[in-house]
A and B are shown apart, each in its own frame.
Chain A
Amino acid sequence: MRVNPNLVPDILADLNQSQQTLNTALQEVSTGKSVTQPSDNPAAAAAMVQNTIETGNVDQYTQNVTSVLSTVQTADSALSNVVSSLTQAVSLGTEGANGTNNTSNLQALAEQVQGILTSVVNQANTSYGGTYLFGGTASTQPPYTADSSSSSGYTYNGNNDTNSVAVGDQTSVAINLPGSQLFSNAATNVLGTLSSLVSALQSGNSSTISSATTAVSSAIDYVNQQRVFYGNAETQLNSQESYLQQETVSLTSQASSLVDVNMTQAATELSQAETANSAALAAAAKVLPNSLINYLGIPS
């Protein structure tokens, strides 16, 4: 068979191909990415869509955990203050009930307890970042305001709802207890017990003072029980935070395995491609000018 005399198309195709390989290798090394457009690896590009969205979400969940954690901690410390105030009220009540106090002593005790009531209401009106923590979802206004018509002297402006914040794809954490449950519950009304103690101290009846004091100390138990909610939320948020950190790591490594190049391999491929390209060019330079004419003398 006659040999193809025209090497040019073959050589051009080879040069094209080795140039293409070189370009791809160079691009991979310089960008560090093996997938820069969907056709490079359609499946990886599609998986990256999920990864991008999931990574964005996990970042945001992590931020949510941090901000919700501060909210929950603020609420918990407010309740801790409430408990110490109530403990103080119990000792004042116990002192008032021992029968050795005269009227003006009792009046002074009543005023101290009234002061404690005010400080508990202040704690109940705690806000964090402009959000009142104990007003249910009606969190843009102070939950408790003074109201002389109410038996405790304060009225609740909040509602009974709670907010939950998403901290994972399927995980959300309830972040607040409404004041109606914490401070003005029908069964154990914290504010009510304090104002009853004030009235009892003002009346001077030892047994009334004593029973009002007992009611305040059971209110302490009640508030401590409710604090478990915030403790649980903190625990849940802390464990969610470490889960999200792991998730971030695994998403990053997934993204990396999907679209990043293995640098060692890419660098090796680049140097192979360079060698192949120079070889192809050298071969072309050697072969192309070859012709019988070069070897024939000029006809005389």
Chain B
Amino acid sequence: MGGLTTSLLIGVQGLEASQAALDATSNNISNSNTPGYTREVPQFSSDAETDIGGTISGGGVTLDGLQSVRDELLNLQIQQQTSQQSSADAQSSSLSQIQTLFSTTGEDLASTLTPLSTSLQQLSASPSSASAQQGVLAAGENLARSFNSTASGLVSAQSSADQQVTQTVSQINTLSQQIATLNTQIAETVPPGQDGGTLQDQRDQLVQQLSQLTSVSVTQSSTGEVITTGNGTPLVMGGQSFNLQTATGTNGMQQVLDANGSNITSTITGGQLGGAIQVRDTTIPGYLNSLNTLASQFATAFNTAQTQGTDSNGNAGQAFFTVPSGTTGAAAGISVALTSGSQIAISSDGSAGSNGNVANLSAALTNTLPSGQTPANAYANLVFAVGNDASNASAQSTAIGQSLLQLTNQQSSVSGVSLDEETTNLIRFQTAYEAAARIISTVQALSTVTLDMGSAQSY
């Protein structure tokens, strides 16, 4: 039979429930700025009614626990987009360094090709002028230096991408280990199928950081999350993590190896690691190849033009540029072979005043190279390619940034702590707590009345 004691017990349950709800609210408020924190809502259920002798009375309230409000699907989408964005960012930051090599700075190839061309035209007008001859030699040296510095700028961008690969791999390993540890803790403390609460928040946050480094695929298993790279190389399986390794490859660049030592470099996409590998192994080698082809073919054409003439000393023209044989390293290795302006093969008929071969030298600048392009066109195409890649990477980063912002907004609208909401809850639970306390004081008053019924003396 229900009695005052029942009311008292129900009142106490109400107090406890409101107390727990106030705890949850204050925890939400305290964590409102914690990255990755998912708001928690108290789950109440009313206890079963009891029917004692035909009298039905309520069973009070039970706090089932705190439920973190999260949307796993949104988390997955955010991870994917994050990977794509940090890949685009890595490429964009590398390319913005590279493109300064191709901006008009006075040291770039367009700025040094021009003086070679104009100094040759000047030489054509005054073939026996020593200063005009020296002008061509100096312009040639500047051009060679410009090839050298552009190539070394590209190589240094490549090696900084290479360093990034090593650093990123070690960050990935650290995160994998932390996630595996959290997997173990969650498996030990949280019953299967239930939300992991703040531990799960932390793990989600780490997976989010991991997806900045490389694209990952996350699946759930009985022992916790299984995380693999985009191509399926395991990083975390439950409580176990698998370290990636790096080793110097045949091209001198750091290769990424899985835990078994297989080379997975070419299969890695997304994230800082994917972006760095893309820049290092595809983008920069492409530019270097164009630059080397240009340096090698131009030097060969110019040297051929030199050999068609006679220099001011009456000797047959010798090679103007020294360039490594083969295309590789041509831009880095090109230098001027001549030591004096008098060695420029100006004359076509052997007389000192002839300018007949200058036209051949000039033609090497304007004729199509074996690549099918004039030197200026070949360089212009390279400038276009660099500019286009840089502009695409930054546009891609902006576009993904927009959609990532949308997704983060959605996630925040599901999981984020609203101070207004929490303040409202604070008032709600405060009122409920006060009401529950009132029940107890009411029961106490009623008990007094009931006890007074059998006695003249007042308690």
Q: Which A residues form the contact surface with B (CB < 8 A)?
A: 1-6, 9-10, 13, 36-43, 45-50, 52-53, 55-57, 59-61, 63-64, 67-68, 129-132, 135-140, 159, 161, 163-166, 169, 172, 291-293, 296, 299
Contacts and interface: CB of A to CB of B under 8 A. Distances in A.
A49 B115 contact: no
A37 B385 CA distance: 13
Contacts of B418: 2-3, 5
B420 A64 contact: no
A161 B354 contact: yes
Contacts of B349: 137, 159, 161
A228 B208 CA distance: 84
B423 A296 contact: yes
Nearest to A42: B387
B351 A139 contact: yes
B352 A140 contact: yes
A5 B421 contact: yes
Contact of A6 (B122, B129, B385, B416): B416
Interface in B275-327: none
Interface stretch (B224-232, B240-248, B374-382): B374-382
B99 to A, nearest CB: 5
Given A39-B96, A64-B124, A163-B354, A57 B117 contact: yes
Nearest to A71: B125
A177 to B, nearest CB: 14
Interface in B124-175: 124-129
12 contacts: A6-B417, A38-B387, A41-B387, A42-B384, A49-B380, A50-B376, A60-B118, A136-B351, A139-B353, A140-B353, A161-B349, A169-B366
A37 B100 contact: yes
Contacts, number: 188
Contacts of B122: 60, 63-64
A60 B121 CA distance: 6
A241 to B, nearest CB: 14
B351 A159 contact: yes
A188 B351 CA distance: 26
A137 B353 contact: yes
A37 B391 CA distance: 10
B439 to A, nearest CB: 21
A50 B424 CA distance: 68
Contacts of A292: 419-420, 423-424
Interface string B365-396: 01000000000110111011111101100100
Interface stretch (B6-14, B18-26, B258-266, B355-363): B355-363
A49 B379 contact: yes
B46 interface: no
Given A46-B383, A52-B104, A1 B413 contact: yes
B129 to A, nearest CB: 8
Residue of A137, A161, A172 most packed against chain B (CB within 10 A)? A137
Contacts of A129: 126, 129
Chain B interface main SS type: helix
A38 B383 CA distance: 7
Contacts of A3: 413, 418
B177 interface: no
Residue of A38, A52, A64, A135 most packed against chain B (CB within 10 A)? A38
Nearest to A68: B125
B113 interface: yes
Contacts of B126: 67, 129, 131
Contacts of B441: none
B380 A9 contact: no
Contacts of A163: 127, 353-356
A292 B427 CA distance: 11
Nearest to B409: A4
Contacts of A291: 419-420, 423
B102 interface: yes
| Interface magnitude class on chain B | 35 or more
Given A38-B102, A52-B104, A5 B420 contact: yes
Contacts of A49: 110, 376, 379-380, 383
A40 to B, nearest CB: 8
Contacts of A161: 348-349, 351, 354, 356
Contacts of B409: 4, 9-10
A159 B104 CA distance: 46
Interface string B413-457: 110111111011001001000000000000000000000000000
Contacts of A45: 102-103, 383-384, 387
B416 A57 contact: no
Contacts of B118: 56-57, 59-60
Interface string B1-39: 000000000000000000000000000000000000000
Contacts of A139: 128, 351-353
A64 B125 contact: yes
Contacts of A138: 351-353
B219 interface: no
B376 A53 contact: yes
B128 A13 contact: no
Contact of A130 (B102, B128, B405): B128
A63 B126 CA distance: 11
B121 A38 contact: no
Nearest to A43: B384
A164 B359 CA distance: 9
Contacts of B427: 296
Q: Closest 3 interchain pairs by CB?
A: A38-B387, A139-B353, A5-B418
